[in-house]
Structures are given as structure tokens and as C-alpha cells.
Structure 1
Amino acid sequence: MIKKPSQAVIDIKPSGIRKFFDLASSMKGVISLGVGEPDFDTPWHVTEAGVDSLANGQTHYTANRGLLRLRQEISKFHDEHYGTKYDPDKEIIVTVGGSEAVDLCCRTLLEPGDEVIVLDPNYVAYEPAILLQHAKPVFIELKEETEFKLLPEDLEKAITDKTKAIILNYPSNPTGGVMTREDYEKLVPIIKKSGIYVISDEIYAELTFDGEFASLAQFDEVKDQVIVINGFSKAFAMTGWRLGYTLSSREISSLMLKIHQFVIMSAPTPAQHAAIEALKNGYPDVLEMKKSYEQRRNLLVSRLNKMGLKTNMPHGTFYVFANIKPSRLSSDDFCTQLLEQEKVAIVPGTAFGVHGEGFVRISYATSLDNIKKACEKIEHFLETLDNQRKEELEAEVLEVMEEIISI
């Protein structure tokens, strides 16, 4: 008899995002507001740099950490934009997207029985990465009324002797929430005292709309406890290039490198050359795309609130997390019926954790025209629900009256 594969892998649930994306892709005429991918093409000068590297025969392995020129540009970018300094020789690793970086962090830090604090709602990849190391996720509920921020009192309650790390994702996928420097200041003493690591997924850092982006890595007291994950997918519209990176202390970086060099060897060479160009000359493109996202955000939030779906103004990313409780449908039913009846694809909040129930994630990484059409369809869907309920209520009243008359 063939032996059974890993139980940890068997137990992992499929992605709730992928479920609705696959369903939508099987239907014609669907407006998809589900997948978190920029609708912009990679800027041509960035693509051209990747193409030129191929034409020039730069198709070989790079150093395990990635091209030195790229690491130098990453170091320069973070110094200039966020005021954080990292040694390109010892503290930066270029990875295959942010997803590899998340996995690297969990493999490096976690042992069986360790606890990792995860915010709920959260990005779908975090819990599986923890479970694959036979560690335990411990969830902190984030609340709409506090704009889905992590509060110090909640963090303090969640930390135990078994806590090894916390995973943060701000600006947040799926909520669009952000943490300010003042918010983080309240967390620093707790993190310092506990000695836990912070895995800070900052892939949406450049898509911070209101105020400046903040990171725990900006606090010298805890910087060595923080592992920053970032990349090129979201801000530079380079999802298919699959390129991310980690920033951390020398000690942690050297440990992560051990895993990276055996599992990956090095990130794709042409993608690294494209990323050099993106960092050197692509920031104006980022600002243009960001301006467009902000216009879309404002329109979508305004329309959703007008139709009775309370929606916080997201201060980052390209998602809104809309409250659909007035519909009296579960998040899953809301998304399924909306797709079937109106051909609009969005993602149920439960794809991001149990506390996502009552919410849906809507991506505005699509055209203004698509957003307007989708809003019209959502509004029609809500009107249809209201009419159905009125008919059901009228039928119930009529039934009661008939019973009274018969008596």
C-alpha cells in the first residue's frame, strides 16, 4: 500500500480567492473585481530592460542573494523612501515573489508547537505557511470601527510564552487599512519586551494614499526583530515577473539564505534586470498608477455607501472591504448570487478568515468604466433582494390573514 502524503498539506484549505476566480473565468461577460492584480501592463522601459538582458545573453544564475546591482538599488530605495538602511551584501535576499519570502520567514523562524499571531482578516497565504511548519496560528480579530488596525491591548493579550512571531500586512490585503507611525509607537514596547519576531509584509507600501507609509522597521529599538517583505508585483505592475525580497538582520538573513539557496538557487535573471530599471527610473510610473487607483477608490467607496453597503475609506492597497450585513446574506452567498445573477465577481470576506464574515473584498484594480458598470449591477442586485423580501413578507401576511378568516 502506498504511504499517505503529508497530513499538513492534506489539511490545507484551497484558496477562497481562487475558488471565485475559477468560477468567474468559466462564465462569459463577467466583470471581475476579485483578483488582486494591477490592470496596468508593466511599464515598457522596465519590460525592455528584461528583454535586453535576454538579448545580451544574461540568462545564467545570479548570486544566491540576487544581483548585487539590484540589491544596491533596493537598499537605496528603502533608505530614500522610508529612512531604513540595509546592507546589500548581508541583509537583502531577492526572492521569487513575496510568497517565497513569506515561506522563507516561516521556515527559518518556526518550530513545531510555536505560536504565530495572525491578524483576522488576513492574506490567505499566511496560515498555510505556519501550518506547514507544524506551528499554531493565533488570531486577533480586527474590527471595522477601528479601521482594522492592530491595537496594543489586543497584541498584549495574544502573546504567550509560545509566541515566536507575528505577521503584519499593512497596508492591508484585504481591508485596505493602514498603521501610522503613532499606531506603531504603541506596539514597540510590547514587541521589544516579548522578543518576538515581526514578519512585516509591506508589498503595498507604495500604494499608501493618505499620509506617509510607516513600518516597525523604522524603530531602531526593534529593527533586528523585524523581517520586511516587499517586492515589485503591486506598485510596479510586475506580478508575472515573480520578484520580491526580504530585508532583515544579518543573522536572520544568513539563515534564510540557507533555505533559499537550496530550494530556489536564485530568482529569475531577466526579472532582476527589469527590477533594476524599475527602481532606477520607474517611480514616476508608480505615482501615475497610484493616482488612478485613488480616483477609482473614491468612486467605488462613494457608490457602495450610497447603496447602503457601509465601506471604510481604505488608506492603502487597491481593495475595499465592504460591509454587506444589511443584505442578510452570508458573505459566500452574497458573492455566489451576485456572480450568478449579475456576473460580477468579488471575494467573500471569509476567504480571509472567520472574522471576514459579513464583508466582501472588492478590488478596484480595474477601469473606471468597469467599476461604474459593476456598481450598477450590485445596486440592481440589492434592489432585487429587497423586492424578494417584500414579496415574501406580503405572502406571509396574506397567509396569516387567510388563517384568521378561516377561523
Structure 2
Amino acid sequence: MVVNLANRVMALTPSTTLAITAKAKELKEQGVDVIGLGAGEPDFNTPGHILDAAVQSMNEGYTKYTPSAGLPALKKAIIGKLQRDQGLSYKPNEIIVANGAKHALYTLFQVLLNDGDEVIIPTPYWVSYPEQVKLAGGVPVYIEGLESNQFKITPEQLIKSITKKTKAVIINSPSNPTGVLYSAEELTELGKICLEENILIVSDEIYEKLVYGDHKHISIAQLSPELKEQTIIINGVSKSHSMTGWRIGYAAGNKEIIEAMTNLASHSTSNPTTTAQYATIAAYNGTQEPVEEMRQAFEKRLEIIYDKLVSIPGFSCVKPQGAFYLYPNVKKAADLTGYNNVDDFVEALLVEAKVAVIPGSGFGTPDNIRLSYATSLDQLEKAVSRIHKFVESKCQA
């Protein structure tokens, strides 16, 4: 049988993150002592009170369909969270619950973009942004976030990238893969341009609870009523409450956009998983102590591992302010060790040093690699030590 797949999927680039993670798992299953630093998920179990709420909901028979946009009680919990954390007021018809924040983004682009519409994406970017835009018929337009500016884009860069076809701009703060945050002042300047040009702001805030030191997460939507109206917030419980597998995220914003997303969801997924929705109600309405405990653990790991990482020959790294990734520039290390590019260097790290990291080419910056510190401190220290020894041995050779 000859299969002719749709052009829109033939043009997709496979997820680099998932590919590396899968290869590392395959080697582990073969008995190879591989340390995987590719995971984009916390290494903590979901907190107990959330697990209990899920079990209770099933035992009480709450296992049927729910409204396509999510349980009213969950919408209420999300509204409460947004008011509590950002001081933002939303109505139920301005909220849609989705099967993860990734699915919320996918649905948003599907209802927002026509063929040829442009979406501005700062680099480095999360690997799925460009692919989701392309799947909706849109065109990704990249702005290079310079390492000298902590990978953040400037108002001048944004202005130059806007055309008559520009529909939206994505802001991810804290960022995956860099872990950097935009300040209120930086967001205000970018927001002014979006208001003047009538460009929708897609604010991906999935890592908002994982912020370190004196830094503070700011949502661009909380800076003014006008910016709130111009912004769709994307968030969820995957990273904040260690619930990646539960697949619950949400979008908050303009009711017409949310209504369109709800209509699409009614024909695609019917509703988010019922049990996971009840678990998320407990996540937002219950104690937040486990969230803070996890944040503190990540911050401790960052403080210990960062200095060890930048001591590796040829490594330089902007220190993260949030999330749980390190994103060093390793072009010099690749050159020192005799590899043509960083992708080849990453392959050698996996095969020879038995450490799995993600090449920056998947994030739009081929001179970097992404390491997740969402694993035990013991494993992190072993991994960085292996990388260090690998680089030094190749340099001497």
C-alpha cells in the first residue's frame, strides 16, 4: 500500500528532546550506565493530597464526560489562582482547560492562524512552538535573543520583525531552555509595541513557580488592563506541581478566542481527562508547601552545579533565574575536542561519556546544549564530572 501523508505533517521536525530521551532510555535498557539530563519534568512525585483527590473522585464515580472547556469547579480554582498570584480577574468564559499546556497552545494556534499568518518566536525557543505554528498554516518568524542580552529580545528587534502578516508574538518567561526571566520594565516596552501594532501576546508561564534568588515572575497581562486584553496566558500544573503525566493545562484571555478554542476542543478531545481535572482542583486549592519545597530543591541544585559546569573548558553559561535547565554555549568545547559541530559533540557525550543532553540546534541555537537539573544532585554531579573528564581527555589527545 502506498501511503501519501498530509503535507502539514511531512514538514514537521521530530522533537529533539523526546528523541534524545528515547535513545538514552534505550541504552539504559541495554544495561549501559547512562545519566539522562534531557528530561523536561520534575523528578518528584505528584504531592500526596493531589493523588488522594484523584482517587476520591474515581471512588465517588466522577469518571464521565465533563464540559469541553473543563469542570466549572476547576475553572473556579484557576480563576482563584490567577487572582491570588497575579492579581488578575477572569470570568469562566475566559478560561479553557486543555490536555496540557502544549495542547492549549496547539488549539490556540489552530483557531488563531490563517495560511501565511506570522508568529514571532524569540530564539532560543521551546521546540514545539515553530511546529505548532506551521501545523496551523502559520509562518514562524524568529528573533535572535542574544546571549549578551541573556537571550532576551529587545523592542528594537521586535519592531523590525513586524509585518502586515504578524498575528502574534510568543513570550516564554521563565524560559525553556534558558531559564531567564523578563523584568516588568522589559515586558512593558515589548507590550507597548504589541498594543500599537495590535499583535496578540501569547504568554507561556508554565515555569512561573520555579524562580530563584531575588527574581520574581511577572505576567505581562498584569501590567495594565490593555495588556491583559491583548494577552492569552498559557499555564498548567505539569511543572509547578510535578504533574507532567496528568496532562492538564489552560489558556486564559479574550472570550472570543476561548470560545473558538472550546468549539475546536469539543470536536477533537471532548474534554480533558476527568480524574486529572479533579486532581488539579486539589493542586490549586490545597496546600502549596510541596511546590515551594520542590522550588527550593531545584535552587539548591542550581547553586551547586552551576559553578562546576562553567569550570569545564570551553563552557560558558548565562545563569538561569528560573525553570530547571542550564543552557551553556559549548562551541569552544566542541572545537577543543575536535568535533565539527555541537550536535556531533552531543552524540559523543552520549556514546563515550554516557551523558544525555539536548543539542541547542533543536532550540534554534546550534552552539548550545540544554541540561536539565530535574534529577538528583548525586546524578548531576556525576554527569558534570563525566563531561569535564571527557572534554579534558579529548583536549589532551
Task: Give the TM-score category using the shorter length.
Answer: over 0.9
Which 10-residue stretch deviates more, 140-149 or 217-226? 217-226
Cα shift readout 1:332-390 (whole Å, capped 9, x = no counterpart): 1121101111111110000111xx111100000001101111111011011112112xx
Q: In structure 2, what is the equivalent of residue 75 of structure 1?
A: 79
Q: In structure 2, what is the equivalent of residue 306 of structure 1?
A: 311
Q: In structure 2, what is the equivalent of residue 229 of structure 1?
A: 234
RMSD across aligned C-alpha pairs, in angstroms? Answer: 1.2
1:6-405 to 2 correspondences below 5 Å = 6-27=6-27, 28-87=32-91, 89-209=92-212, 210-218=214-222, 219-308=224-313, 309-327=315-333, 328=335, 329=339, 330-353=341-364, 356-388=365-397
Q: Which amino acid aligns with 2:193?
A: I
Cα shift readout 1:128-176 (whole Å, capped 9, x = no counterpart): 1111122111100111111111211111110011101112211110111
Distance 2:294 2:175 in 1: 18
- Deviation (angstroms), 1:222: 2.1
Q: Which amino acid aligns with 2:347?
A: T
Q: Which amino acid aligns with 2:368?
A: F
- Deviation (angstroms), 1:282: 3.6
Distance 2:230 2:115 in 1: 20
Segments ≥4 residues shifted beyond 3 Å? none
The structure with the largest alpha-carbon Rg is 1
Distance 2:274 2:262 in 1: 17
Distance 1:135 1:383 in 2: 45
Distance 1:197 1:188 in 2: 10
**In structure 2, the residue corresponding to 1:207 is in which secondary structure?**
coil
> In the superposition, relative to structure 1, how do residues 31 and 3 fare at CA in structure 2: closer, same or farther (>3 Å)?
closer
**In structure 2, the residue corresponding to 1:262 is in which secondary structure?**
helix
Note if contact 1:114-1:163 (Cα within 8 Å) is conserved in structure 2: yes
- Deviation (angstroms), 1:4: 2.2
**Gaps (5+ residues) in structure 1?**
389-407
- Deviation (angstroms), 1:178: 0.9
Q: Which amino acid aligns with 1:233?
A: S
Distance 1:253 1:273 in 2: 21
Note if contact 2:96-2:258 (Cα within 8 Å) is conserved in structure 1: yes
Note if contact 2:66-2:271 (Cα within 8 Å) is conserved in structure 1: yes
Distance 1:150 1:143 in 2: 7
Note if contact 1:171-1:177 (Cα within 8 Å) is conserved in structure 2: yes
- Deviation (angstroms), 1:3: 6.6
TM-score of the superposed pair, with normalisation by structure 1: 0.92
Note if contact 1:46-1:282 (Cα within 8 Å) is conserved in structure 2: no
Note if contact 2:349-2:355 (Cα within 8 Å) is conserved in structure 1: yes
Note if contact 2:90-2:252 (Cα within 8 Å) is conserved in structure 1: yes
Cα shift readout 1:291-339 (whole Å, capped 9, x = no counterpart): 0000111112111112231111100100010111221142211211011
TM-score of the superposed pair, with normalisation by structure 2: 0.95
**In structure 2, the residue corresponding to 1:383 is in which secondary structure?**
helix
**In structure 2, the residue corresponding to 1:205 is in which secondary structure?**
coil
- Deviation (angstroms), 1:63: 1.6
Distance 1:31 1:351 in 2: 20
Note if contact 2:123-2:151 (Cα within 8 Å) is conserved in structure 1: no
Distance 2:5 2:19 in 1: 23
Which 10-residue stretch deviates more, 107-116 or 217-226? 217-226
**In structure 2, the residue corresponding to 1:221 is in which secondary structure?**
helix
Q: Which amino acid aligns with 2:275?
A: P
Note if contact 2:173-2:182 (Cα within 8 Å) is conserved in structure 1: yes
Note if contact 1:229-1:245 (Cα within 8 Å) is conserved in structure 2: yes
